[in-house]
Amino acid sequence: MHAPGDPGAARSRPRLRRAGPGEDTVALAFVGDGATSEGDFHEALNFAAVFHLPVVFFVQNNQYAISVPVSRQTAAPSLAHKAVGYGMPGVLVDGNDAAAVLSVVGEAARRAREGEGPTLVEATTYRIDAHTNADDATRYRPDEEVTGWLGRDPVARLAAYLTNTGQLNVDVEAAVAAEAEDLAADLRTRLVAEVPPPPEELFAHVYHRPTQRLRDQAARLRAETGPDGS
């Protein structure tokens, strides 16, 4: 979800309670380092902190917003440090350490569920590939930097940890790979078989009560595409 939308979703939790189970609902907002330079991000943090909302803001800091390095985006010691200005905890974690991320996010979710308010988590990682196939990343970052981060592969690190603690062996790895392939094949089959939603659904669930502008846009779409959306 987007950062501005998640505090709103979290604030609607009393409605979820009236509709059914929802007491443990926590909104988790995933954003990149580049998004922290946007005004919406700061509005979302301020709103969540003021209203003490159950939100976890997860910043995946992959070091570059397309070609702009983090050093050109903030003067703060870290992106997590920004939390201080909003009166919420900020936690910096190695984003390539799956166990550490699980622990930090788990604690942030616990705080949210127990009414202790939002948390900002910054997970440091790296974008190994170019931003898009039209992006030449060699123009703004050295090969040595990429090589250094390749040695911190999170999948390899997790596998090494599980192997060293006796939780992973050749048989377990083969079983997990087979289960993952079956799951992926099943998802692909079901997605291909899904009927596309009607175009008018684009306007649903935007606001609790649709605005007049949205109603007008939906009406124009119906007039252009017909009742069946064709």
pLDDT digits (tens, 9 = 90+) for 108-153: 999 999 999 999 999 999 999 999 989 999 999 999 999 999 999 9
- Encode burial over 21-50: b for 16+ CB neighbours within 10 A, e otherwise: eeeeebbbbebebbbbbeeebbebbebbbe
**Contact status, residue 160 vs residue 154, Cβ threshold 8 Å:** no
Distance CA 98, CA 117 (A): 24
The fold of 24-128 is Rossmann fold (3.40.50)
> CB 69: neighbour CB atoms within 10 A?
12
Per-residue b/e over 72-91, b at no fewer than 16 CB within 10 Å? ebeeeebbbebbeebebbbb
Which of the pair, 24 or 104, is modelled with greater confidence? 104
Mean residue pLDDT of the chain comes to 90
* Residues whose CB falls within 8 Å of the CB of residue 74, separated by 6 or more in sequence, listed in order: 36, 37, 82
Q: What are phi and psi of 135, to 5 degrees?
A: -105, 125
Q: Which residues are catalytic?
A: 127, 131, 140
The per-residue pLDDT for 17 is 43
- Mean pLDDT, residues 158-166: 95
Q: What tokens appear for 43 in the block?
A: 């509005």
pLDDT at 14 over 60: no
Backbone angles phi and psi of 58, in degrees to 5: -110, 110
Domain assignments of the chain as residue spans, ordered by start: 24-128, 153-194, 195-225
Q: Provide the pLDDT confidence category of residue 20 given band limits of 50, 70 and 90.
A: very low
Tell me how far apart the alpha carbons of residues 70 and 3 are, in angstroms, rounded to a whole number.
Answer: 19
Tokens of 105: 């996010």
